[in-house]
A = this chain, B = another copy of it.
Amino acid sequence: MYDVAAAAGVSHQTVSRVVNNSDQVRPETVDRVRRAMVRLGYRPSGTARNLAVRRTRSLGVVSFMGPLFGPMSMLLSIEAAARRSGYAAQLVSAHGLDAGQVDAVLEEVLRRDVEGVAVIAPTDQQAGMVAGLRDQLPVVAVEGRLGDDVPFVASDNEAGGRLVAEHLLECGHRTIAHVSGPEDWGEARQRTAGWANRLRSAGVEPGPVWAGDWSPESGYRAGVELLAHPRWGEVTAVFAANDSMALGLMAALHRAGAGVPGRVSVIGYDNTPESGWLQPALSTVEQQFDAVGAAAVERLVTSLEGGAAQAELLIPPRLVSRSSVARHGRG
């Protein structure tokens, strides 16, 4: 910068002004400086600027990522929202669950001088491991609670579960099985709870439940067990807690000759881009990841800029009705 200043015959401060598009500089001078910058191949140092202004305008996104549709979509929408707010996103994803490894990741993100962190920690165990961040800097929890004192934004999974139950009830189903997500995922528990509660409030007892791990395989296994279950005869619908498990489930049903939705209806959760093209087209619940990501970043930014703490926010999902659910009985 001093070189540029010398080359343009001005002071370093004037160069700084030009770089920051200050309107306090004569156009002619701006020109001279600009030319000098180009000639010398000058690029301003963001690092030095950050140090001087004591802000980095960057947010950390720590996530425990597999190849899962949900977390991935979240990540993208958070990044987009952050950039819209003028922040950069430092991506830090922990793959394993090994405590030492997670700590290393956290240290890493702290070392990077991010101003705040969005944590996507959907399992309880993960949440526990990163909870300590909260007293280091502003944190927002996304899709998985981090504690009562941490702002929290998520898709409303309980509402999603209710939506499913309602839809199935409306279609006349009275014995509904469920393939849930892993029990240590808050989202999974909430989907299950919303579903079960809504059924009960309609006087219908929830049917048998299997816990899967979100994978198609686990859906398949649940399907196999369902087919062997004593109450299989009565079951007319199954709610899978995500589309992948629904897929595996349908594969098992198909293999056993139990047609969907002929013999049994199936509904999933997520609405991946593929869901509408499965055979049969899968009814499911769609989450508004963009809205969640945007809200999360907004909260983080608000608290960085001295705003008040906000209550937790749940974004309502929406039911997507397709052909894998059929009416049943006199319904």
**A residues whose Cβ falls under 8 Å from a Cβ of B:** 43-48, 50-51, 56, 58, 61, 65, 67, 72-73, 76, 79-80, 83, 88-93, 95, 105, 108, 110-113, 136, 215-217, 219-220, 244, 247-248, 250-251, 254, 273-274, 276-279, 281
Contacts and interface: CB of A to CB of B under 8 A. Distances in A.
Given A76-B93, A277-B248, A113 B216 contact: no
A278 B247 contact: yes
A58 B113 CA distance: 12
A220 B89 CA distance: 37
A95 B92 CA distance: 21
Contacts of A220: 277
B83 A274 contact: no
23 contacts: A43-B110, A44-B111, A45-B113, A46-B113, A47-B50, A47-B51, A47-B113, A58-B112, A67-B76, A67-B273, A79-B91, A79-B92, A79-B93, A80-B95, A89-B91, A89-B92, A90-B91, A215-B273, A216-B273, A216-B276, A216-B277, A219-B277, A251-B277
Number of copies: 2
Given A67-B73, A90-B88, A46 B112 contact: yes
B51 A244 contact: no
B91 A91 contact: yes
A83 B92 CA distance: 8
Nearest to A79: B91
Contacts of A61: 91
A92 B59 CA distance: 12
Contact of A279 (B67, B110, B113, B250): B250
A137 to B, nearest CB: 9
Contacts of A277: 216-217, 219-220, 244, 247-248, 251
Contact of A254 (B56, B112, B279): B279
Contacts of A217: 277
Contacts of A67: 73, 76, 273
A95 B95 CA distance: 26
A33 to B, nearest CB: 18
A246 to B, nearest CB: 10
